[in-house]
Amino acid sequence: MNLHTLSTQDLQALTARLKRPPNTLEHALAATLYSEHCSYRSSKELLKTFGADLRGSGGVVDLGGGLGAAFKIESHNHPSFLNPYAGAATGLGGVQRDILSLGAKPLACFALLRCPDTGAHYQEALEGFNAYAHHTHTQNLGCESGFSVGFTHNVVVNAFCVGLVPLEHKVQAHAKAGGAFVLLGRAAEGVGVDGACMSSQELNAHSTQSNIPTGDPQTQAKLIDACLEIYTQIGVLGAQDLGAGGLGVACVEMAMRGGVGAVLELDKVPCAKKLEPMEILLNETQERMLLCISPQNLEKVLQTAAKHGLNAHALGTTTIEPIFKALYANQELAHLPLPLTPPPTPLNPKQDLSLTSPLVELTSLPPAKIWLPQIQKHLCIALASSTPSALQEPKEDSKNVCYRAYQQLQDMGAKVLSFSDSINLGAMDQHGAWVLSQMCLGLKETHQELGVPFISGNVSLNNATSGANSIPPTLAIVAVGVI
């Protein structure tokens, strides 16, 4: 729990807004929401410069014929360094649920791994990713692998997933007035309570794998089937997966996007063991989705979940007044006004010419082509990633990465529809801030030159250990198109 700490400035601002000091639960929830992992407070303004959509779990492009493709590349670096198998597996599980929360059925996936060598860490991460893909019946397109001593103290594990959604059943990650919240999936286990804060900070000698959530792909497969049936046969007002920050972050984010408030009854959350209210609110147990539905559809939703062998419980409602309330045994434990977002963190970028990036041995992933009989077209996917020049020439490197992904699809004869980006950087010192700003400038210029939108993406910062040993800057770009 020691990671749930607001900065002095953030605590003062929240206290002034509440006109009282936040209690322990409110403090922990605010610290989680304000974490870099959840808020993108260091990078949000830069991401906006190239049109990155930060409003939900990902983006959807129109493939024609009433069919859309939802896709995203996502990082899971800190957990995968501490527990390679579980981290890589749940990294794929999380991005699958991001796609599912848009109404799409996961279709295909691939991994991007950066490790020091081909030893146990790499093998376990690859095994975890592959096993999760297999048990969730998702076509595995392979893995781009890179090796360098620069990844000895932190690794990069990125998971990509693409899914298909009939555009008439596209789902948004927001709550609406008059809605009821239903939680589907595994019972809460109390793990990963500080996961969002941990993933936002540098690792140290005390970081441990004991609090890294594990995945259950069989439950994930049931969750996918149940949600898709609910979307198409019953309908929802909104949906979001439970990742870092658990139920608290998912509910607050959905409410903020919808411009409403929310009330959660924490004692109605199914738990695998006795948990404290903070653990119930913030734990990162995997394979869970939060749905916002019309109350008259509650019984149908619960019956559909039961048919698929899933836990499903109604545990709250939206409110017109934009306030988040958490209750336990009818006692109010949290009362926070919405929106609850932190101010941007100012960066102080400055290039350090003395730094060098170690060479990376790279095994590339060839572009993929998947036939879609529904629209008589091929879905085309290409991946490109950074070279060692990203450390000193991040703007040009990021442009080159985008153009390489773009050109791969062009060479196939495909029309490029959109990009998804994953930015993975080390310590946010002056040079790290400079790399981030220059990398985003390169993406902005590419967007202006090619006119291809970035509909989804991810930023992972502070991939370093004890103030040193930063990873080499790693940008992954996925281009998606049709032919």
Q: Show which residues are catalytic.
A: 37, 76
Distance, first Cα to last Cα, the chain:
50
Query: Buried b vs exposed e over 291-305: b needs ≥16 C-beta within 10 Å?
Result: bbbbeebeeebbebb
Indicate the burial class of 140 (C-beta count within 10 angstroms; 0-12, 13-18, 19 or more): middle
State which amino acid sits at residue 453: P
Nearest 5°: phi and psi at 363? -115, 105
293: its two tokens:
């539905």
- Helix, strand, coil percentages in the chain from 3-state DSSP, rounded to 5: 35, 30, 35
Q: What 3-state DSSP class applies to 81?
A: helix
If you write DSSP's letter for every residue of 196-263 in order, what string do you get? Answer: HHHHHS-B-TT--GGG-----HHHHHHHHHHHHHHHHHT--SEEEE--TTHHHHHHHHHHHHHT-EEE
> Rounded distance, CA 30 to CA 249, Å?
9
State which amino acid sits at residue 58: G
In terms of Cα–Cα distance, which of 211, 204, 208 is closest to 82? 208
> Rounded distance, CA 467 to CA 175, Å?
40
